[in-house]
């Protein structure tokens, strides 16, 4: 019997587009045998998010799919084995290792390489390109010692590379661009100017209209020489001057290639040989090389369709893009440059905040044609949809970039007004209709579920806000009432549950789930209920340890590698020389890295879980307790030295800080709480950046509340002026208890106040004027919490059953986690990076 | 498809060693295995202890729970809250990574792990 011929598709190139082609073809059919040749030793990875490799992502995080995926799907993968020759007559490819592989169809996904201009000295050490993981590793190594680095090329990739240098801590980073402005292909002159101002403010030095004539240095780069005679001294140079399609194999095989590179393809992505296709950055379609991933994916879809008797064709691609460059939003869409007489532009420029917006509308004012957004690109998705779907403009198109300035909201029906065929996720080609149908027909109601269902939002992630809005909007349209609920297991808000558990005297998580929830709980509702139970009864946290986040379960802070850190309580930042020696002894004995924290404490890092009880025991015996650097609880009350020593101090801020810290320590709240007490208006304790802050005045104390440091800093607001200590404590009891009872999970006091109807005036009325008549209740509830305080660490130290849980291996308590690895840095131990 | 490969059952620890509705890690033939006592459901599960997201030996310290209409049992890594099915090991946040699960049984007060 003659074995049946299995048609073979050979893919040359295992990059993002080559991988995506395999995925798309396998989704349509399994009749083909797929054979992939890759030049790099790695399986396909995500080049778009390459700069995240510097931000702590590992090479594995960037993989499109693990090696196992290829095995599971029967794809034969030859890595590190480039194809050297295509023999079109015998329909075979020949690889470097000597493999001869026949094909029925051949797909070229050879991508592109970095374009390196022919500048004298380009071969010198310290001159690099920005393309592969190996390139990044080289850049990382150079940056470690470089004092000054430059990027050649002020386009999209060049600015990405500049960001990488900034992130790597190169003290001086320069960008050199030949054109008179940054990103000349995407944005207009005024937008470039705004972008440049913003980037310069962030520490980038930008040199425009510079033609690099040579790279100087003895073997290693020392300086760039420019055509205008000027010189820039640098120790490293990253070249990012564009891409060059990898078409050499095609050229060798006699396929038609473009004058300036690129394999010529038709709308079906066929090359001049109809059995051979080219996709991605190596393909030249209609005179264009598409250097973005989304059109590459679209080309992959076209070939997969062609091979399965489909009719999809490629007819060009919208090159609109939005990205965050070094923290600055940059977007361009449709035709960003079109001008009079073909269009009229509306421009908004705000030099103060660094925002530039331009939209180009048709002369009759009916259609949006394109535009540029710098500094604020929130409107990008809607504007792009308005262009692509030819949606009629509102009577005042300026509202699109300025927002409605009258009484009416301009949002209208928002994303829900888009037509069903509007492309929402362009990376994965998912339409609005498909997303809404997933909600209505398949009951997909969360972003995670949507990603699994149709991959929407899994590419560049830019459409995620729209996908979320579509899910919620469709649910609302269906009549589903979108309620503020804890999670899928509890149909109540935190505040509702707080009251329900109190009224019904519920004291365990299981009882709460049985009475008011469903299912088996999750990592959202367990700690939230844990926080409510603590806020009601202040029972020992260790009695409920399996519903706590890991830090509350192990009473210490988990760190990279799985070790823990211990931060002894140093109330108000006051510590004796004897106590300092105790901390030193303990850290030395258990081999811990020590550092002064931002909250006037000393943190000891790198403790094995099995050493924690022993460490606490030694601290407790010396009169310490371990402290809350974890948990949604009071962290520290920072203080300045105050009137005891300081010649400006008005009152004793240290004593007050210690009193406050000891009063509220251990109490669990919706989120962490930080505090400070300053002895005079100079405010050395930075009390106005805290959840509650106290500042001495001539006549008493001023009480500030709801401040926040962190990612969204917000100054605390003045709640009461010139009050005495007892009144401060009284108001604080009421304020904190009111917050504990009414905030959502993980909501800091600042956000809580921002969302409170009536704002500070309302809060003052509740806390000071007792407008709700609950102040006596709040004070009594707080008194109960304070009275029930126990040292949770002492509980573990003294309880053999609890102590037993502090091991890495339950069946080998003496063995420490062998995967935990440390290295040395500046004479102390340091955990290995992940 | 169910395959009936013979597994060798190794006694690993006592039922009381694993907290109710929580987990702990055991050393089994040099491997780190996370064992979960899902007391609420009366079920036991075993998976690799390594979270594939950041390569941390941490899953045994994660919170367990369920998700969806089918009440799929799951564990959340304590580091960044990636969640994995305790039955299949599949990542439930849409990532491509998954974890290995092991056969587990309880006889008397002894917990056994099955190795292929």
Interval A738-755: pLDDT, tens? 999 999 888 999 989 988
Which residues in chain A are contacts of B76 at CB distance < 8 A?
A: 522-523
Chain B residues within an 8 Å CB radius of A23: none
Å between B6 CA and nearest CA of chain A: 23
Domains annotated on chain A, with CATH: 8-113+245-307 (3.50.50.60), 127-241 (3.50.50.60), 419-482 (1.10.10.1100), 636-787 (3.30.413.10)
CA A422/CA A58 separation, integer angstroms? 35
Bridge partner list, A207? A176
Chain B positions with Cβ closer than 8 Å to A: 12-13, 17-22, 24-27, 32, 35, 38, 40-41, 53-58, 61-68, 71, 73-74, 76, 78-79, 81, 83, 92-94, 96-97
In this prediction, residue A55 carries a pLDDT of: 64
Q: Which residues in A have their CB inside 8 Å of a CB on B?
A: 58, 60-61, 63, 65-66, 69, 448, 451-452, 458, 488-489, 510, 519-523, 525-527, 545-547, 549-550, 553-554, 558, 560-562, 805, 807-812, 815, 817, 819-820, 834
**Which of A609, A658, A630, A632 lies closest to A820 in space, CA to CA?**
A609
Most confident among A48-57, A442-451, A633-642 (mean pLDDT): A633-642
- Nearest partner of A121 among A219, A196, A52, A205, judged by Cα: A219
Q: Give the closest-approach CA distance of A562 to chain B in angstroms.
A: 7
CATH number at residue B12: 2.102.10.10
Chain A environment of B110 (Cβ under 8 Å): none
**Do A40 and A13 meet the contact criterion of CB atoms below 8 Å apart?**
no
HSE, side-chain direction, 13 A CA sphere, residue A772:
14
**Confidence grade of residue B25 (pLDDT, cut at 50, 70, 90):** very high
Helix (H) or strand (E) holding A448, with range, is helix A447-454
Nearest to A523 among B40, B63, B94 (CB): B63
Q: Cα separation of A158 and A177, whole Å?
A: 9
Our CA-based measurement puts residue A557 at a distance from the nearest CA of chain B, in whole angstroms, of 11
pLDDT over threshold 80, residue A275: yes
Cβ pair B78:A558 closer than 8 A: yes
Number of domains in chain B: 1
pLDDT bin (cut points 50, 70, 90) of residue A413 is very low
What pLDDT score does A475 carry? 84
Question: Residue A451 and residue A441: Cα distance in Å, rounded?
Answer: 16
Segment A762-772 shows an average pLDDT of 92
Are A302 and A107 spatial neighbours (Cβ–Cβ below 8 Å)? no
- Per-residue pLDDT band for B5 (boundaries 50, 70, 90) equals low
Q: Give the integer Cα–Cα distance in Å for B83 and A551.
A: 18
- Select from B61, B70, B89 the residue whose CB has the most chain A CBs within 10 Å, as the one to mutate to test that interface: B61
Q: Considering the domain boundaries, does residue B1 fall inside one?
A: no
Closest CA to A385 of A363, A370, A374: A370
Which residues in A lie closer than 8 A to residue B19 (C-beta atoms)? 545-546, 805
Q: How many CB pairs under 8 A join A and B?
A: 112
Q: In angstroms, rounded to a whole number, what is the distance separating the alpha carbons of residues B78 and B63?
A: 7
pLDDT above 90 for A416: no
Q: Nearest-CA residue of chain A relative to B35?
A: A810
**CA-wise closest residue to A155 among A299, A332, A276:** A332
Distances (CA, A) of A35 to A75, A96, A98, A225, A280: 6, 15, 15, 48, 18
The residue among A524, A554, A809, A834 with the most chain B CBs within 10 A of its CB, best to mutate, is A809
Note down the domain range covering B38: 8-115
- pLDDT value at B63 more than 90: yes
Instruction: Name chain A contacts of B39, Cβ cutoff 8 Å.
Output: none
- Give the mean pLDDT of chain A: 89
Is A680 known to sit in a ligand binding site? yes
C-alpha span between B36 and B39 (Å, rounded): 9
Express as a percent the part of chain A with pLDDT over 70: 97
pLDDT bracket for residue A637 (50, 70, 90): very high
Minimum mean pLDDT among A87-96, B91-100, B101-110: which range?
A: B91-100
Q: What is the mean pLDDT of residues A229-249?
A: 92
**Taking CB atoms and an 8 Å limit, are B94 and A562 in contact across chains?**
no
| pLDDT score of B1 more than 60 | no
Residue B55 lies in a domain: yes
Query: How many other C-beta atoms can be found within 10 angstroms of the C-beta atom of residue A134?
Result: 11
Q: Which residue of A has its CA nearest to B60?
A: A808
A546:B20 CB<8 A: yes
What is the average pLDDT across A157-170?
A: 86
List chain B residues with CB under 8 Å of A514: none
- The yes-or-no verdict on residue A409 having pLDDT over 70 is no
pLDDT top residue among A722 and A1: A722
> What share of chain A in percent tops pLDDT 90?
59
Closest CA to A487 of A783, A745, A119: A745
The answer to whether residue B30 is domain-embedded is yes
User: What is the sign, positive or negative, of the torsion defined by CA atoms of B48, B51, B52, B55?
Assistant: negative
- φ/ψ region of A643 (left if φ > 0, alpha if ψ in -120 to 50, else beta) reads alpha
Between A452 and A817, the higher pLDDT residue = A817
pLDDT for res A745: 87
A811 vs B13, B19, B81: nearest CB: B13
B3 inside domain? no
Structure confidence at residue A394 (pLDDT)? 78
Residue A452 pLDDT more than 70? yes
A640 is in an annotated binding site: yes
Alpha helices by DSSP H, A154-204: 156-167, 189-201
User: Which of the four pLDDT bands, split at 50, 70 and 90, describes residue A405?
Assistant: low
- Which of B25, B29, B42, B65 has the highest number of chain A CBs within 10 A, making it the mutation to test binding with A? B65
- What is the per-residue pLDDT for A408? 39
Mutation choice for B interface testing from A60, A520, A799 by most B CBs within 10 A: A520
pLDDT attached to residue A2: 55
CA distance A210 to chain B (A): 43
Q: What is the pLDDT of residue A468?
A: 84
pLDDT tier, A342 (very low <50, low <70, confident <90, very high otherwise):
confident
φ, ψ for residue A86, nearest 5 deg: -110, 120
With contacts defined as CB-CB under 8 Å, which chain A residues touch B27?
809, 811-812, 815
Contact B12 A811 (CB under 8 A): yes
Q: Mutation test of the interface with chain A: which of B27, B49, B93, choosing the one with the most A Cβ atoms within 10 A?
A: B27
In the three-class reduction of DSSP (H, G, I as helix; E, B as strand; rest coil), residue A694 is classed as strand
Report how far residue A327's alpha carbon sits from residue A202's, in angstroms, rounded to the nearest whole number: 9
Q: Which residue has the higher pLDDT, A590 or A324?
A: A590
Question: How distant is the Cα of A579 from the closest Cα of chain B, in angstroms?
Answer: 32
Q: Give the CA distances from residue A440 to residues A393, A436, A453, B70, in Å, rounded to whole numbers and listed in that order.
A: 29, 6, 13, 19
Residue A406: what pLDDT?
A: 46
Instruction: Return the pLDDT at A266.
Output: 95
| A727 has a pLDDT exceeding 80 | yes
Residue A665: burial class (beta carbons within 10 Å; 0-12, 13-18, 19+): buried
pLDDT computed for residue B31 by the predictor: 92
CB pair distance less than 8 Å for B96 and A58? no
Write out chain A residues lying below 8 Å of B79, CB-based: 558
A521: left (phi over 0), alpha (psi -120 to 50) or beta: left
Q: How far is B105 from chain A (nearest CA, A)?
A: 16
- Chain B neighbors of A69, CB-CB under 8 A: 96
Interchain contact, B13 vs A519, CB within 8 Å: no
At A665 the pLDDT is: 95
* Mean per-residue pLDDT, A536-564: 91
Tokens of A823: 């290295």
A22 is in an annotated binding site: no
Lowest mean pLDDT among A155-164, A555-564, A810-819: A155-164
């Amino acid at each position: 019997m003659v074995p049946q011929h299995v048609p073979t598709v050979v893919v040359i190139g295992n990059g993002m587009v080559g991988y995506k082609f395999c995925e798309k073809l396998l989704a349509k059919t399994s009749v083909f045998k797929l054979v992939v040749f890759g030049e790099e030793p790695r399986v396909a990875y995500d080049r778009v998010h390459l700069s995240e490799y510097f931000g702590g992502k590992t090479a594995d995080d960037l993989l499109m799919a693990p090696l196992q995926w290829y095995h599971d799907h029967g794809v034969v993968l030859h890595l590190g084995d480039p194809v050297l020759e295509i023999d079109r007559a015998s329909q075979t490819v020949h690889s470097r290792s000597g493999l001869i592989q026949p094909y029925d169809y051949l797909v070229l996904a050879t991508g592109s390489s970095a374009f390196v201009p022919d500048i004298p000295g380009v071969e010198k050490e310290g001159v690099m390109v920005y393309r592969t993981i190996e390139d990044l590793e080289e850049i990382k190594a150079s940056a470690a010692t470089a004092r000054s680095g430059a990027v050649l090329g002020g386009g999209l990739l060049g600015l990405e590379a500049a960001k990488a240098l900034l992130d790597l801590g190169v003290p001086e980073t320069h960008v050199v661009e030949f054109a008179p402005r940054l990103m000349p292909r995407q944005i207009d002159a005024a937008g470039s100017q705004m972008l440049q101002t913003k980037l310069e403010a962030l520490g980038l030095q930008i040199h425009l209209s510079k033609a690099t004539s040579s790279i100087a240095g003895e073997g290693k780069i020392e300086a760039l020489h420019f055509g205008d005679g000027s010189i820039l001294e640098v120790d490293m140079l990253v070249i990012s001057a564009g891409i060059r399609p990898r078409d050499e194999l095609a050229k060798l095989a006699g396929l038609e290639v473009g004058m300036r590179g690129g394999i010529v393809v038709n709308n079906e992505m066929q090359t001049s040989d109809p059995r051979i296709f080219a996709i991605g950055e190596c393909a030249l379609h209609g005179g264009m090389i598409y250097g973005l991933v989304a059109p590459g994916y679209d080309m992959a879809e076209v070939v997969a369709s062609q091979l399965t008797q489909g009719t999809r064709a490629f007819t060009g691609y919208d090159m609109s893009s939005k990205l965050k460059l070094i923290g600055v939003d940059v977007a361009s869409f449709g035709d960003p440059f079109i001008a009079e007489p073909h269009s009229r532009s509306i421009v908004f420029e705000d030099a103060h905040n660094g925002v530039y917006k331009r939209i180009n509308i048709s002369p009759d004012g009916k259609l949006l044609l394109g535009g540029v957004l710098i500094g604020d690109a929130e409107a990008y998705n809607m504007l792009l949809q308005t262009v692509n779907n030819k949606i009629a403009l509102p009577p005042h198109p300026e509202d699109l970039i300025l927002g409605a300035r009258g009484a009416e909201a301009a949002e209208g029906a928002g994303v829900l007004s888009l037509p069903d065929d509007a492309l929402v996720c362009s990376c994965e080609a998912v339409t609005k209709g498909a997303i809404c149908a997933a909600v209505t027909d398949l009951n997909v109601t969360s972003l995670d579920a949507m990603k699994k269902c149709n991959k929407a939002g899994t590419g560049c992630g830019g459409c995620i806000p729209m996908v979320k809005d579509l899910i919620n909007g469709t649910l609302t349209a269906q009549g589903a009432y979108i309620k503020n609920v804890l999670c899928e297991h509890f149909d109540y808000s935190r505040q509702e549950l707080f009251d329900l558990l109190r009224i019904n005297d519920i004291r365990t998580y299981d009882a709460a789930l049985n009475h008011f929830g469903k299912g088996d709980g999750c990592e959202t509702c367990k700690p939230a209920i844990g926080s409510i139970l603590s806020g009601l009864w202040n029972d020992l946290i260790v009695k409920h340890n399996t519903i706590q986040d890991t830090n509350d379960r192990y009473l210490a802070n988990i760190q990279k590698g799985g070790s823990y850190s211990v931060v002894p309580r140093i109330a108000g930042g006051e510590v004796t020389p004897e106590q300092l020696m105790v901390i030193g002894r303990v850290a030395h004995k258990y081999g811990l890295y020590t550092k002064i924290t931002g909250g006037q404490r000393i943190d000891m890092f790198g403790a094995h879980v099995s050493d924690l009880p022993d460490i606490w025991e030694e601290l407790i015996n010396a009169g310490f307790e371990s402290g809350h650097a974890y948990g949604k609880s009071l962290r520290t009350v920072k203080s300045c030295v105050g009137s005891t020593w300081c010649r400006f101090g008005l009152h004793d801020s240290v004593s007050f800080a210690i009193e406050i810290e000891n009063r509220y320590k251990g109490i669990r709240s919706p989120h962490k709480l930080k505090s400070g007490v300053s002895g005079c208006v100079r405010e050395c304790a930075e009390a106005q950046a805290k959840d509650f802050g106290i500042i001495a005045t001539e006549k008493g104390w001023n009480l500030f509340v709801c401040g926040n440091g962190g990612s969204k800093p917000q100054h605390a607001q003045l709640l009461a002026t010139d009050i005495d200590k007892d009144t401060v404590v009284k108001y604080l009891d009421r304020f904190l208890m009111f917050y504990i009872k009414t905030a959502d999970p993980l909501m800091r006091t600042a956000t809580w106040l921002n969302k409170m109807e009536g704002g500070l005036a309302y809060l003052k009325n509740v806390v000071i004027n007792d407008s709700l008549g609950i102040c006596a209740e709040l004070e009594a509830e707080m008194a109960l919490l304070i009275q029930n305080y126990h040292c949770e660490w002492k509980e573990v130290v003294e309880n053999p059953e609890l102590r037993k849980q502090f091991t890495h291996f339950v069946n080998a308590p003496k063995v420490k986690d062998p995967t935990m690895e440390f290295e040395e840095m500046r004479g102390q131990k340091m955990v290995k990076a992940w | 498809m169910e395959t009936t490969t013979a597994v060798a059952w190794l006694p690993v620890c006592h039922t009381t060693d694993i907290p109710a509705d929580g987990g702990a890690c055991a050393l089994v033939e040099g491997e780190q295995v996370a064992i979960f006592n899902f007391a609420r459901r009366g079920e036991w599960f075993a998976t690799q202890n390594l979270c594939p997201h950041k390569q941390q030996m941490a899953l045994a310290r994660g919170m367990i729970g369920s998700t969806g209409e089918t009440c799929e049992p799951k564990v959340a890594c304590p580091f960044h809250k990636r969640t994995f099915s305790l039955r299949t090991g599949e990542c439930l946040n849409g990532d491509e990574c998954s974890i290995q699960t092991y056969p587990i049984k309880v006889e008397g007060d002894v917990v056994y792990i099955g190795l292929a």
